[in-house]
Structure 1
Amino acid sequence: MTYALPGYVCSRDDTRADVVTARWCCPACGGPWDLDFTPDPSAPLEPAAGPWSLWRYAPVLPMPGEVPVSLGEGHTPLVPLTQRIDAKLDFLMPTLSFKDRGAVMLAELARRLGPERVVADSSGNAGTAFAAYCARAGLDCEVFVPEGTSEKKTGRMRAHGAAVRVVPGGREAAAEAARAAADAPGVFYASHVFNPYFLHGTKTYVYEIWERLRGRLPEALVVPVGNGTLLLGAALAVEELALRGVRPPALIGVQARAVAPLAEAFAAGADDAEPVAQRPTLAEGIAIAAPPRARQILAAVRKSGGAIVSVPDDRLRAARADLARRGLSVEPTAAACWAAVHPDSPDSPLGNRTAVIPLCGAAPSDPAAV
């Protein structure tokens, strides 16, 4: 049986397109797509009856019919850090980062569309996730990475069968190379920034918290923000659960102070973010100088009554060490939220609210590596 897939709608100008024939971005303005999909809030949602993966939330996912692509992703544990703050251990995902949540959605979408090859761009975790899930789906995958990407990261991608293309320049140069390749016939661009199916995968992070807390959410969800894929996925889930009577939490985004266009825009009361200089930071995973979905991120945070803050590298380093002493070994980006809301933080945006933070990426195998 053939099932219709929800189509795209432009987040900027309301242009609409069929998912089967659409270009990777809006042809009118070049902006990222949203999805023309709203789950029925009256439909039964009983995740415990589903599989041990994020597909247990199939009734609220935009992927009708049987879904064969999975590596058992999702359902990661919550552990307490304080009496009011829990950490969700997404570094225990199959490829060791939260990017698996979106990658499995795009791999299943690509499998249904049947392209000749899949291309992606990444500086690490997303590329590994796409390589693994494309391998699981039987798809040829090509990942464009910026020069300087560690050989351990590219080695993991190659181990899954992906072709790795090293692009001179930084993260944006790799993205431009992937987008150029994506314009060729028969190519599917697995973009964790431009394709909204990825966001509907990351929203399962919040559904799992809702399930674990027996039908409620904490007073705040604190997430690291670069391109905003986890925050925007969280915003989708919060809105969907609100229609089921769940009290919505505040969304608090955390950036690295060295590259913090969203935090600066939020502080200035701006509706959009101006590009900033690309400076070095320990939190490379969120060092995005010009996030394409900046306007959406700022709007979602303000609607929730939340905030976007930034933390300097010295506090990132200290927070990562503190987590390690608690038995939690994570990459620097994953320590950003703990740096922001640690009980000793001089400017925590949390106050006395309960919260969940994601530990969204595992530490490198070399404990001295950053």
Structure 2
Amino acid sequence: MTNSAAMAALQTLRSIDNGLETAQSRVSSGMRVETAADNAAYWSIATTMRSDNRALATVQDALGLGAAKVDTAYAGLESAIEVVTEIRAKLVAATEEGVDKAKIQEEITQLQAQLVSIAEGASFSGENWLQADLTTAGGSVKKSVVASFVRNATGAVSVKTVDYMLDDRTVLFDEGGNLGILDKAAVIEGPAVALNINVGGTVTQHTVEAFTTDEVIAAGAGSSTFDGRYATDGVNNYVKVADDTWVIAVNQTTVPNQEAAYQDSLGRLWAVDTANVVAATTSSVDTMVIDNSTTTGQIDGLLKMVDTALEAMTSAAADLGAISTRIEMQESFVASLNDVIDKGIGRLVDADMNEESTRLKALQTQQQLGIQSLSIANSSAENILQLFRQ
């Protein structure tokens, strides 16, 4: 009634079959831990890290997008720097004697239009880092590029970014006002001298446009005349207030300016023209205009403004270059991190195919032996049938 040998052989065969099923699953899937039932702890870790790896893959895409935005802005800035450098060269040319400044302005106007085209065209995926509405935004706009996905020791996750501020140091044009590098209003002053002018008994200090002796001569196209501390270029009269420093003068019957009054050889009294005191004028790189009446001093002021703009643009380009380098380094790091995480997951859950294939072959052999043992155990019970044979 009870075949103990067959029962033992069957139990062994069942164990072999279970091992064979496991080995076949590992060989076919290539994984030692495929489900939570295989190893709950390892499966949980591997599942979490696979999820993080997918997030890192998205970070790589975001870094590529950010790099494209930075490269676009940098290319625009580089082109704009070349154009502004050309504008500076035109202003230098305008200081030459006898040059037609109006013709130079025609060239400058085209260069100014090119600056606008560059700023408008430096857009990638709907974002433009060379022009922004700074006035409405309170003076700055933050742009961010996704840099990494981080899971800390407590399991909390966060996304880290590389930030770049659009402000008056980095944006070429302010769409809401005039805070950009190229549309920022700058005070334009030529060479000037501060004088204490006495008008009606009240002495106040005024900044008056100053001219050198050579400039007075050039203004009269070589026909200017000098009479001690008085000079004229045929249009304007001048009073000498310091060494090689002249200011525009007016014929006076009194002495409104105690420091700069002078009586010429004809007995006329000349003093600083209080109606011609220089008021601070403003201009910007994108709106400046010169003509044949623009003085050398005013052009010098425009040159200072253009140089200031070039310094700001160069600094902004350097910032973009540094961010571009950082993004490249982060892309390389994320790619390496992705590989390392894949390797770490593999160590937890991947099957050793050499070992598993060897085990599978051994279990298949054991299965055949188990079947044979079960057959032998069953055949011993069949011997009883011999007793019932005739």
Bigger RCO (CA 8 Å, 6+ sep): 2
More strand by share: 2
- Structure showing greater radius of gyration is 2
